Chains A and B, each alone.
Chain A
């Protein structure tokens, strides 16, 4: 047990990558074996992160389970890992969603081996971002996650996949270019990339000493925007969101689940882990801009979602809408850092990240379930399917309601907290976003109505096109998600407790 104790985070981080390498040596045709092996391997990090969750002491400030190894001494970067309540929540989300996504991919028959390997590498990439306490390591994993996702979309995606995958890659890489340069700047100034050190030293820099021939505030402002744009593209914040609907629409189902469930969270996590602590002043100055963009994302995301005729695009735009609340919470916290309202907003934002991970992954999966049976995502081609697939219909309604923010389910709690926290800080924006919520209800109901209700499209009722009910494996994917959705909706204290303590100690 000592070994596991000492390297808990490294184990969680590298078990998927090691499993991927092992899969490389499996014979090509053994699809069944590879699937179950990948699924089993992805359960190990989940179990380990549950261990971490229960051993985590929320009352203790700072990072826990810290590990540090020599990595790149020449430029002052070490392999430093550690988690606080914020990152642990995200780690749990990632390790939960990955096995479910792998389970959802059991219908993939084309090059299963490579598909599963990419998935497991992707998991390592995402987990690394959440665990890194070294800026360079953060960036390493930030970029590493891109590659598997690019190939998942490019190789297993639908018709327009080349365009979508390249757009995804270029947008994200273009965005992280500024991040790269800003990280280099910090490295040159401080000769270290250790986050904990940087938090202190970057903020205690004497504003009078010029940096690179410019005033400190100019340098900080530029660096702030370099960070902010990289993360804004990933979240994505309007108007940087246009890669997202394309990527989602073309990605394979499980790819969308992780893209929406975890990858978008990386951007929001970047805001919380790096921007708020490193640039508190700039964040306060530009919080208004952020809030404006977040409100735009909420409102336009909802409108755009309502206008879609493609079921998957509808869900994709709903991500823009929901992630807008995360950013709104962050903006409020940046503007009034340290106040009680700010902490509430931040609690809401972080919980919303977790919740959106559950519900978006569920929604994308459900779209995938019906797409696999009908080979269409066109909402006009469905209709009245509820009597044919009552179980599926029930699950879809349940998950949609979580997304809509029905009290009693998880979405309500987090959105309420965000709105409650930002109300006194950013009243006008909050009011406008609440109006956006109205359209959230509209597009969700539109989705349900077009698929389940209305006149039955006879095409799906008879013969070879007869729609089959959701099967046991697919239900198994949804059960953990639905259970958590309900549990957090009814009794959120278990998770909010951890998040809240992290928020209070960090900011």
Chain B
């Protein structure tokens, strides 16, 4: 038996959360240190998985199976393929950097990081992280769903307790209700798939690799694809069900926003792909046009709404809707290039938006405002964060040389292959994105600093700089050397294409 690396990754945050809760309440720094150590451990392991994934062999690797509830055909089955391995790495990265920027700074003017009950904060955050890891590595549909709910639930507490006072209760409620409705709808679909697959094959199981062979009829797939796909895609922020997402971002504390935009939205997209498209491939072909339509609207509309925002966090929130729209657009092409691009875009958008929210949080902690017109001149105070935000901005604009381009270009090529008009329309978002990103960089970082902020601003901490550097490195490395990630994602996509073609 090999080292069970995937379950160790998944349960490390749980163990860390328990240890943190056992520490005495006043021991804030110890709680933080445990959190950081656990996050670093999970990050190193996810790197290990990423680099030891054998691309030549492809398929699901590091597979572990444990009996859980054999009577119902449920087992704890873990494994990663070329799509999920980058997402596991992404989760490790966001978890690590999220802990770093939550550490805080005891400067008199600054309420940076998490000062209020850091123990509980990290514990909830880590349960969330465990849920996210669990979804990405689960090969059992029941377990995927189980972890999915575990990932969603702590968001409510994290936002309602540590969030922005003004909207936190509203946003936490809205977010949770949206996501529960979505997941209940997809749960119904999952159960339908379970029964029908059982009837077809005689074996009642939630094992997704078995369910792929269940031979769902065309009519069944047509009926159930939309509930399953859209139910999960709500968490991916798909238009027109995206409305919870910017509110949630704005109300969430910084590290939670990073998780939310960085990995949780990927969770929705990933589950929609894994369950919706891979188990119901013919349904996906039937409804391709609708998904493409929704995605294209999200891409352009999200960019436009981001363009008119005055609140920095809302701007990033809507830009996430736009960029996740590109992921969905890539899915909707159902072809090699589009899906590969979508896979890379999930990673690229994850690190980019985590970086955006991290830096926005650093600014907000010091200035106590996120209103773009009330900010200015940050480049003099925090040059390091400025460079980070600019790099993130360039990724967001899809500037060549950064990961955003590597991801978006194949998505657009895929759309050309499917429906060229959509590519032309969606491309408008590139110019809109460039305009709002550049305008905001200029105002926030280079504009005139308002008088009331003079003297109140401090530079970011060393830990913040480590976090910024880590996130930026990924965007640059993938941008310059696409082969760091693209061939791996391609291997995962080949499997999807096999299902689409052979279904």
Contact = CB atoms under 8 A, between A and B. Distances in A.
> Are A and B interaction partners?
yes
Given A173-B430, A212-B420, A74 B340 contact: yes
B201 interface: no
A341 B124 CA distance: 77
Nearest to B481: A71
B409 interface: yes
A490 interface: no
Contact of A143 (B400, B412, B439, B490): B400
B180 interface: no
A136 to B, nearest CB: 7
A212 B394 CA distance: 32
B7 interface: no
A34 to B, nearest CB: 16
Given A74-B337, A177-B431, A166 B439 contact: yes
Contacts of A150: 438
A331 to B, nearest CB: 28
B430 A180 contact: yes
Given A180-B427, A181-B424, A185-B416, A154 B442 contact: yes
Interface residues of B, number: 34
A404 to B, nearest CB: 38
A47 B55 CA distance: 43
Interface in A109-162: 136, 139-141, 143-144, 147, 150, 154-155, 162
B329 to A, nearest CB: 13
A170 B482 CA distance: 27
Contacts of B394: 147
Q: Is the interface of A mostly helix, strand, loop or mixed?
A: helix
Interface string B393-410: 010010111000110011
Interface in A171-207: 173-174, 177, 180-181, 184-185, 187-188
Contacts of A177: 427-428, 430-431
Contacts, number: 81
Contacts of A173: 397, 430-431, 434
B406 A72 contact: yes
A169 interface: yes
Contact of B409 (A70, A166, A184, A185): A184
A74 B400 CA distance: 16
A170 B486 contact: no
Given A147-B394, A154-B446, A212-B420, A75 B483 contact: no
Contacts of B483: 70-73
A155 B379 CA distance: 11
A71 B337 CA distance: 15
A160 B435 CA distance: 18
Interface string B87-104: 000000000000000000
B487 interface: yes
Nearest to A172: B434
29 contacts: A70-B483, A71-B482, A71-B483, A73-B483, A73-B487, A74-B337, A74-B486, A74-B487, A75-B413, A139-B400, A140-B401, A141-B400, A143-B400, A143-B401, A144-B401, A147-B394, A166-B435, A170-B434, A173-B430, A173-B434, A177-B428, A177-B430, A180-B427, A181-B427, A184-B416, A185-B420, A187-B413, A188-B337, A188-B413
Given A74-B482, A136-B409, A170-B434, 13 more contacts: A71-B482, A72-B486, A74-B410, A74-B486, A140-B401, A143-B405, A147-B394, A154-B442, A173-B397, A177-B427, A184-B412, A184-B416, A187-B413
Interface of B: 336-337, 340, 394, 397, 399-401, 405-406, 409-410, 412-413, 416-417, 420, 423-424, 427-428, 430-431, 434-435, 438-439, 442, 446, 482-483, 486-487, 490
9 cross-chain pairs, A with B, having the tightest CB-CB distances, nearest first: A140-B400, A188-B416, A72-B482, A143-B400, A74-B486, A184-B413, A173-B434, A212-B420, A144-B401
